[in-house]
C-alpha cells in the first residue's frame, strides 16, 4: 500500500489530533494554478471558505491570488492576511448590513449579489456612504454539477443566485439604482466536480447569457465562473496537484470572451485539499462481535466531511507496516455518525499509532467545532516543525 511520506518522528512529538500542512505541496499547487491560469490571463480568487487558517491565507496572498469571501469574517480574514481589497470578491445569499458596510469601507473589488432585494439594500448602504458599489450578478445558471446534492448550487431549487427567468427584471431595477454599478456576472454550480462536461455546459450557458445581455445593450466587463474543481480523494499520493491545465483549457476552448473582458475563478478545494492532513492517534483497538474498531482521538469535531456528506478520505496508519487488516475507523464523539470509514484497510493498528486522514486541507480545519466541549485542533506546518 503506497502511503504518504510524513516526518513521523517529528509528528510523534506533537499533541494529537492536529492538522499538518505540507507547505511545499501548497506552493507547488499555487505555482501550477498561476502557470495554468496565467496562460490565458485568468484572474484567480482563492475561496477562503475552504481553509481560513491565517498562515495558509498569507501564503496564498503572497502568491498574488485574490480572495473570494462569503462573510464579513472572511473579508476581514482576507484583509488581515494581506489580500489587497481590490482583489476581494464577496458572495453570499444573506449578507448582514455590517458585512456589506465592511466591504464598502474597504472598497472591495466586487459584491456578488444574489437577489433583487440584496441589490436594493446594497444601493441604500452605498448611498449612505456616498459610494458606488461594484456589483456582479450571481446567476443561477441551471446547470447540473453532477456532484453530491449537499454541495450542488446551480439548480433552480437551490437558494443561490438569481433565476434566469428573473434576470431581466433585476437588470431593469439595477439600471435605476444610482449607487451600484454592474461590472460582471458570476456563476458557481457546485463543488467537488470531476466531470468536465459540467463546466462545458456552464460555459455554453454563459455564452448564451452574454448574448441575451448584449441584446439588451449591456456589455459585461467581468465573467466569474466560481470554483468547484474536484480533487482525487482516492489517490492523494499519485495525483497531489489537480489538473488545472484541463480545467482552464475547457474555458479557453469554449468561452466567447469579448475584447477587454476579464475572466475570474474562485477555486477553494483544489488549491488546499491535498496539502492538509488530519493526524490523529489510536486510543484503543476495540474488538467487537463482528467488527474491529480503531478508535481515534479525532472525531467529526475535527473533520466533519465523512459524517456530513458521506465523504471518503483516505486513511493510513503511518506508524505501522504490519499486515493489513479491516477496521471501522471511528472517533470518540457520542454520536453514531462519528465514523471516518467502515472496513478500512489499515496496517495492523495499536494504541498510540498515528493515523493520517488525507486530503483534509479543504473544509477540514475550517469546519471544526467544539461539540462535546472539545478543543479546536491546532495546526503545524512542514517547514516549522
Ligand atoms: N465560490 C462560491 C460562490 C462557492 O460557494 C464555493 C464553495 C466556492 C467558490 C469554492 O468551491 P470549491 O472550489 O472549493 O469547490 N463543505 C463542502 C464544500 C462546500 C462548498 C461551498 N461553496 C465540502 O466539504 O465538500
C-beta of 74 in contact with ligand 1 (< 6 A):
no
C-beta of 228 in contact with ligand 1 (< 6 A):
yes
Orientation angle between helical segments 167-176 and 196-215, nearest 10 degrees: 50
Q: Against a cut of 0.75, is the pTM above it?
A: yes
| 212 has binding-site annotation | no
- What is the whole-number distance in angstroms between the Cα of residue 223 and the centre of ligand 1? 18
Question: Among residues 360, 330, 326, which one has the least CA distance to residue 344?
Answer: 326
The pLDDT of residue 185 is 95
- What is the whole-number distance in angstroms between the Cα of residue 363 and the centre of ligand 1? 9
Digitized pLDDT (tens) for each residue of the chain, 385 residues in all: 578 899 999 999 999 999 999 999 999 999 999 999 999 999 999 999 999 999 999 999 999 999 999 999 999 999 999 999 999 999 999 999 999 999 999 999 999 999 999 999 999 999 999 999 999 999 988 888 777 777 666 666 677 788 888 898 999 999 999 999 999 999 999 999 999 999 999 999 999 999 999 999 999 999 999 999 999 999 999 989 999 999 999 999 999 999 999 999 999 999 999 999 999 999 999 999 999 999 999 999 999 999 999 999 999 999 999 999 999 999 999 999 999 999 999 999 999 999 999 999 999 999 999 999 999 999 999 999 9
Alpha-carbon dihedral sign for residues 63, 314, 295, 350 = negative
- What is the whole-number distance in angstroms between the Cα of residue 284 and the centre of ligand 1? 35
Q: Which residue among 69, 110, 275, 334 is the active-site one?
A: 334
Best residue among 44, 45, 46, 49 to mutate for probing ligand 1's pocket (most ligand atoms within 8 Å of CB) is 49
Catalytic residue status for 110: no
DSSP 208-234: HHHHHHHHTT---SEEE----B---SS
C-beta of 240 in contact with ligand 1 (< 6 A):
no
| 305 has binding-site annotation | yes
- What is the whole-number distance in angstroms between the Cα of residue 152 and the centre of ligand 1? 9
Domains of the chain plus CATH, in order, are 8-18+275-381 (2.40.37.10), 23-271 (3.20.20.10)
Distance of CA 17 to the CA centre of its chain: 22
Q: Are 265 and 44 in contact (CB under 8 A)?
A: yes
Indicate left, alpha or beta for 39 from its phi (over 0: left) and psi (-120 to 50: alpha).
alpha
Amino acid at each position: 500500500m503506497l502511503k504518504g511520506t510524513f516526518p513521523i518522528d517529528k509528528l510523534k512529538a506533537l499533541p494529537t489530533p492536529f492538522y499538518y500542512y505540507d507547505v511545499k505541496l501548497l506552493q507547488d499547487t499555487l505555482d501550477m494554478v498561476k502557470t495554468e491560469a496565467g496562460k490565458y490571463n485568468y484572474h484567480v480568487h482563492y475561496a477562503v471558505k475552504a481553509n481560513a487558517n491565517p498562515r495558509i491565507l498569507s501564503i496564498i496572498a503572497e502568491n498574488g491570488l485574490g480572495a473570494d469571501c462569503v462573510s464579513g469574517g472572511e473579508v476581514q480574514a482576507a484583509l488581515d492576511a494581506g489580500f489587497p481589497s481590490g482583489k476581494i470578491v464577496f458572495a453570499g445569499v444573506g449578507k448582514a448590513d455590517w458585512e456589506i458596510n465592511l466591504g464598502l469601507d474597504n472598497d472591495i473589488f466586487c459584491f456578488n449579489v444574489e437577489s433583487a432585494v440584496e441589490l436594493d439594500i446594497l444601493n441604500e448602504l452605498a448611498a449612505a456612504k456616498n459610494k458606488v458599489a461594484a456589483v456582479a450578478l450571481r446567476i443561477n445558471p441551471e446547470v447540473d454539477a453532477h456532484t453530491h446534492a449537499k454541495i450542488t448550487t446551480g439548480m433552480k431549487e437551490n437558494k443561490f443566485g438569481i433565476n434566469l427567468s428573473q434576470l431581466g427584471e433585476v437588470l431593469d431595477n439595477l439600471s435605476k439604482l444610482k449607487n451600484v454599478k454592474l461590472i460582471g456576472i458570476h456563476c458557481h454550480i457546485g463543488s467537488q466536480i470531476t466531470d468536465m462536461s459540467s463546466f462545458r455546459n456552464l460555459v455554453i450557458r454563459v455564452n448564451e447569457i452574454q448574448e441575451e445581455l448584449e441584446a439588451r445593450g449591456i456589455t459585461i466587463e467581468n465573467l466569474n465562473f466560481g470554483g468547484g474543481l474536484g480533487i482525487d480523494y482516492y489517490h492523494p499520493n499519485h495525483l497531489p496537484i489537480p489538473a488545472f491545465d484541463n480545467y482552464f483549457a475547457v474555458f479557453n476552448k469554449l468561452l466567447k470572451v469579448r475584447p477587454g473582458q476579464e475572466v475570474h475563478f474562485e477555486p477553494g478545494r483544489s488549491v488546499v485539499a491535498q496539502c492538509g492532513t488530519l493526524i490523529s492517534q489510536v486510543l484503543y483497538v476495540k474488538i467487537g462481535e463482528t467488527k474491529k474498531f480503531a478508535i481515534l482521538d479525532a472525531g467529526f469535531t475535527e473533520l466533519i466531511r465523512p459524517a456530513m456528506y458521506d465523504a471518503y478520505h483516505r486513511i493510513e496508519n503511518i506508524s505501522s507496516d504490519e499486515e493489513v487488516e479491516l477496521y471501522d475507523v471511528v472517533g470518540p464523539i457520542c454520536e453514531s455518525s462519528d465514523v471516518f470509514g467502515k472496513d478500512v484497510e489499515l496496517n495492523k493498528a495499536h494504541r498510540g499509532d498515528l493515523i493520517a486522514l488525507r486530503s483534509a486541507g479543504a473544509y477540514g480545519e475550517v469546519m471544526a467545532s467544539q461539540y462535546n466541549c472539545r478543543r479546536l485542533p491546532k495546526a503545524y506546518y512542514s517547514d516549522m516543525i
